[in-house]
Structure formats: C-alpha cells, structure tokens
Structure 1
Amino acid sequence: MLPMNTSIRHLLTLDRLNAEQLNSLLDQAEALSPQALGAPLSPPRLADKTVVNLFFEPSTRTRSSFELAAKRLGATVLNFDMANSSTRKGETLADTLYTLEAMGGDIFVVRHSGDGVVAQLAEICAPRTCLVNAGDGKSAHPTQGLLDMLTIRQHKGRDFSGLKVAIIGDIRHSRVARSDLHALRILGAGEVRLAAPESLLPNADVMQGFRVVDSADAAIEGVDVVMTLRLQRERMEDGLVSSMEAYFRDWGITPERLALAKPDAIVMHPGPMNRGVEIADAVADGPQSVIRQQVSNGVAARMAVLSALHAESA
C-alpha cells in the first residue's frame, strides 16, 4: 500500500507523482510479482470492487494485463465491447461512464485516441470512482512507464543516478516515451539520450532536460539501457519516413549497433514490435532483451496501481 501521505485517487500521468509515490508503487509491484505470475493472494484486495476496462483503441498487452491484474486481486472485471456498445449509436463517453458507474463500476481503466480524455472523465466522475489512464492519444501511458522502470530497477538497481538511457525511434507519437521520460526525470536518471529522425522528434518542451543526439549510434554508445519505440504508422502523416528499409538501416537496433552499448546493457521495447523495422530478430530474442520481462512486469505494475487506487477509495 502507498504511505498515507502519498495516496492517489486517479493515475492519469506519472508527472504528477513525486519520487516517494513512484518508488512506493514500484516497491508494491515488486512485492506483488509472485502473485502476478499466479501465486495465490490472500485475502484478495479487490474482492468487493468492479474494474471496468474501457478500451476505445486496440490493445493486447495493456488490456490483457489489466484484466489479469484485476482478477488476481479478486475483482469483478467488465471488459467494455466498444464495437457492440451504444457509442455506435451516438452515446457520449460521459454517458457511457455514468451508465457503468450506475451499474456499480468502481475503477475504470480507459484507453482512448484523444489527448486528455481520461483527465476530462476524472473531472466529471462520481466521488467514489477511480480512473486509470491506459493510454490517451500521444500524451501518456503511465502504467507502461511504471513497468518499464520496474524492469530497469530489477536489472540495474534502485539508484538511477548513474544510469545512461537511450530512447530511440518515434518519440513524436509515443505516449510511452512521454511517461518513461516523466519517470526517469522523477527517479533522477543520470543521462537520458533521445534519438530519432528530425521528423519524429517531439516538441521542445518534451525534450527539455534531456540530451538529443543525431544518430542511433551516438545514442547507444556506452549506455546501460536501450529503449526502442514502435514506428506508429497509424498516427503518422505520409512522408515522415522515407521507407521502412531506410529506417531500419539508420535507426533499427541491430546486433552490430547494440555492441556499442555497455556489455551488460538491456534492450527494451513496449510492443507491439515491428521486427526488421525498429529491432532485429537477433536483438529482440537475444540475451540482452528484457522485452518479455516487461510484459510479465505489466501485470505486477497494474496490480500495484489497482491496489493503490482501491486503498484510496476504501
């Protein structure tokens, strides 16, 4: 549980947390790791709660891990079926929320293509309702940031001050990158390098305080952590990337490029991966890859968040 002075009602973005809150969530996720993998949790913390997954965008990892997290905490889980819902008839998102609150929904996990949509719902929801941002537009994906920090901590220790981290790829369209940057700043990471084609760099305010380099090689040289991002073609305008082959040549993580990092560097990717575009098979499936561990940690991180919100609403 979070200490009393660090409680939170909603998790909308990591940049509203302080270091104590963030570390407490990571500690809780670490403690829940055995239960995330199926060990029994007694007593079940959310036995009297209903968790509603409101996903207005496709998802495999996030939706599945939230469902598993809630069930392993003992909650009743409702997966909202957008394709067959009244939103197809013109019902507003607010009315959808009100309807499901009236049915007894307690914690709402929301993914939406619009920036700021989850924060808007937080302003109008019932006093007992808690909201989790499962990814909104390109703004934030806080639980992905949590599971990424948990994965780094498991390999590199709790002290981030000496770490060098490279984030490479489509930063412009990545809500994952924004949440990872929020978390790395809060945890005091020693050096964070950002590398992408100029067309895929974000606004200057996102990059403030971080080092921007002009090549993947310069980003990776001597780092402890290599994070590569999915090329989000569904959010991109035509022409931002000349070709997938050229992108892989210049920005893809290959064994040769990874050799520039420290020998014990870890490789991360939030998924889904475009193999042969952002990352080579030999790296994705290689000994330095922690991508599958990220997926496993997603259940533990989301259990920690749901537990913290339950404690706040109890």
Structure 2
Amino acid sequence: MNHFTTVEHLSASTIHALLQEATLFKEGKTWMSSGAPLIANLFYEPSTRTKLSFEVAQRRLGFQLLDVDAETSSIQKGESLYDTVRTLQALGASAVVVRHSDQRFYEQLKDISIPVINAGDGHGEHPSQCLLDVMTIKEEFKSLADVNVAVIGDVYHSRVARSNVQVLKRLGANVMLAGPDDWVNAPELGCERVSMERAVTTADVVMLLRVQHERHTKDGRKDAADYHEQYGLTLEREKRMKPGAIIMHPGPFNRGVEIASELVEAPRSRIFKQMENGVYARMAILKYVCAPAAEFMAHSREPIKEMI
C-alpha cells in the first residue's frame, strides 16, 4: 500500500514515474480503477484549487466520492482525526485525501489501513502541489537540471515552499530564496538567500508565494502596499526578468501584493497552467495509491530511472 504524505519519502524514480503518468493523462490516456472504489475527501482547512482538482481527478478516474464537511460533521463534537478517518475506512473508503492544520497530521494515522493522501499539513508540506509545479516547470524546460528557481515571499509559513525546495534540489534545479528576513529564515531548506534584484534577474522560474496572513501574529503582519513595493513582482521587476523566464504562483494569489494584477495572465505567467496540471498530477497520485505497483507504470514510455 502506498501513502502520499511527504516528498521526503519519494525517490527520484517515483517522482519521475508520477510525472510520466500525469503527462500521459494530459495526453488523453485513460485508466479506470476496478470496482469504482470510494474515495473520501476530508478538508479541515479552506481550499479551492486543491479540493476541486482532486474531485475532478477522482471523477475522471471513475471513483465514487465521499465528501466530508468538517463544519457539519462529528468533528465539531470533538471527534479525533484518527476516529474520523477510521470511520471512513469502516464505511468502505478505499483511500482518504486529508488537509489539516496540524503539521505531520498523517503520523496520527499510522494504524489506518487505507492509503492517506496529504492535501496540505499546516505549514509542513503540500506534496501534490509540488508534483504539479514540477510538471509545469518540466513542460517548459524539458529537464529540471540547472534550472534557476527563485522562491519568493512567505517561505517560513509555506508548505508549498517546503515540498518544492526538497524536490527541485533533488532533481537538479538551483533554488534561491528571497523575501523579508523574518519570512525567509528557513536554514533547514539549505538554499541561498538573495536580493530581489538577483532573484528576478537571474531566475528561469520566479515562483511567488502567497502572504499567509492567517498564520501570522499581529506583530508579524506587513502592509500590503509596502510588501508589493519591496518583495512583490511589480511591472517594473517583470521587465528585468530573463528572456524565456516564467512566473508561477500556487494560489490563491493576492493581486497587488505578491504580484501585480496585470501579470497574473501575462505571457510569462504559468499560473493557470499550474491549475490545469493539478488535475493530471492528482490523477497520477490517485493511481499511485490505488493501483498495484505493476499496473501503475503499465503505460510508461520508458523505464523508471533516477532523473535530474
């Protein structure tokens, strides 16, 4: 049984296989799980892109959906995460997709005997977002090797940054961080901290992060206009980007804060392509956790191999 909870446990071979599967799904290949199994979606935090793209992916693969409303379920009566997921397992769920405010929530589910997919754990990781981001970069540059990626903004509170940095570095990209000093204080990521000028002018990928106001203390919040001027992708900064460089953002984006409104759908922007790729990446993840290992790679065009 495969879980999909952290990129820490994904080998380069497995990431390569997932990317191949996602690409095949995007090209129109199909796969239907036998018996139309039931998949439970359990979101304790708000979500638009992640939740809906998982639902679209599930429907395209022929799964039945069990959507749990955390606001109206027994969660409000104090039911634990384990007991809720164990109930879903007892009701026949074949896998569960969970978003939770607790970092590494999945460690509470080690005795659950169905696959667990992490749709975001606190400010820990966001592995499915990582896969769609890597897919988007690979479509653009064919390989991750020596691609310069600038991750800009609220790195400290970003689960997207924590997953993406790990995988990008593992696959050969050069990753640098930029943003306010107190938000880029993440030495465990092992990345060089650079100025906005260097980030914008040397990156092949300018990856902006949402300012996560809900995770900040009152003293740690910053004025939106000041942030945009100092660390946002302004129209003037975009003009200094390299030819062929692209803009990415995991969403939801704050127009006029992380990114000038005019740049959200600019020619360089791949923001909505990321959202599109989210469906195919999550189809690949669902197949990875639900299909037998041999079947998972049945349509691969090349052997699984370590990829940089």
Cα separation, 1, equivalents of 2:9 and 2:238? 34
Judge conservation of contact 2:82–2:108 (CA < 8 Å) in 1: no
Judge conservation of contact 1:46–1:70 (CA < 8 Å) in 2: no
Is 1:309 matched up with 2:293?
Answer: no
Q: CA deviation at 1:130?
A: 0.3
What amino acid maps onto 2:204 in structure 1? D
Cα separation, 2, equivalents of 1:177 and 1:194? 10
Q: Flag the 1:247–1:20 CA change in 2: closer, same or farther, 3 A.
A: same
Question: 223, 226, 248: which one pairs with 2:228?
Answer: 248
Aligned twin of 2:150: 166
What amino acid maps onto 2:75 in structure 1? T
What amino acid maps onto 2:269 in structure 1? S
Aligned twin of 2:64: 76
Residue aligned with 1:286, SS:
coil
Q: CA deviation at 1:95?
A: 1.0
Is 1:138 matched up with 2:123?
Answer: yes
Q: CA deviation at 1:241?
A: 3.8
Judge conservation of contact 2:213–2:221 (CA < 8 Å) in 1: no
Cα separation, 2, equivalents of 1:160 and 1:90? 45
| 1:270-289 correspondence runs (5 A) | 270-289=250-269
TM-score, length of structure 2 as denominator length: 0.92
Cα separation, 2, equivalents of 1:278 and 1:87? 34
Aligned twin of 1:212: 193
Residue aligned with 1:221, SS:
helix
Q: CA deviation at 1:202?
A: 3.7
Q: CA deviation at 1:69?
A: 0.5
Which sections of structure 1, spanning at least 5 residues, go unmatched?
Answer: 1-7
Which sections of structure 2, spanning at least 5 residues, go unmatched?
Answer: 296-308
**Per-residue deviation, residues 124-151 of structure 1 (Å, max 9, x unmatched):** 202xx00100000001000000000000
Judge conservation of contact 2:151–2:177 (CA < 8 Å) in 1: yes
Is 1:183 matched up with 2:199?
Answer: no
| 1:1-314 correspondence runs (5 A) | 9-35=2-28, 41=30, 44-45=32-33, 47-121=35-109, 123-126=110-113, 129-157=114-142, 159-189=143-173, 191-206=174-189, 208=190, 210-213=191-194, 215-312=195-292
Judge conservation of contact 1:110–1:134 (CA < 8 Å) in 2: yes
Worse overlay, 11-20 or 133-142: 11-20
Cα separation, 2, equivalents of 1:192 and 1:47? 43
Worse overlay, 173-182 or 254-263: 254-263
Q: CA deviation at 1:47?
A: 4.2
Cα separation, 1, equivalents of 2:222 and 2:282? 37
Residue aligned with 1:106, SS:
strand
Judge conservation of contact 2:42–2:67 (CA < 8 Å) in 1: yes
Q: CA deviation at 1:34?
A: 4.0
Cα separation, 1, equivalents of 2:137 and 2:238? 17
What amino acid maps onto 1:177 in structure 2? A
Judge conservation of contact 1:241–1:247 (CA < 8 Å) in 2: no
Judge conservation of contact 1:46–1:310 (CA < 8 Å) in 2: no
What amino acid maps onto 2:51 in structure 1? R
Q: CA deviation at 1:285?
A: 1.6
Aligned twin of 1:5: none
Cα separation, 1, equivalents of 2:35 and 2:248? 34
Q: Flag the 1:199–1:46 CA change in 2: closer, same or farther, 3 A.
A: farther
Runs of 4+ residues over 4 Å off in structure 1: none
Query: Percent identity at matched positions?
Result: 42
Cα separation, 2, equivalents of 1:99 and 1:133? 18
Judge conservation of contact 1:254–1:282 (CA < 8 Å) in 2: no
**Per-residue deviation, residues 194-220 of structure 1 (Å, max 9, x unmatched):** 0010111243112x1x2111x322211
Cα separation, 2, equivalents of 1:202 and 1:184? 19
Q: CA deviation at 1:46?
A: 5.4
Residue aligned with 2:93, SS:
coil
**Per-residue deviation, residues 174-196 of structure 1 (Å, max 9, x unmatched):** 0000111111022111x211001
What amino acid maps onto 2:145 in structure 1? S
Q: Flag the 1:188–1:46 CA change in 2: closer, same or farther, 3 A.
A: farther
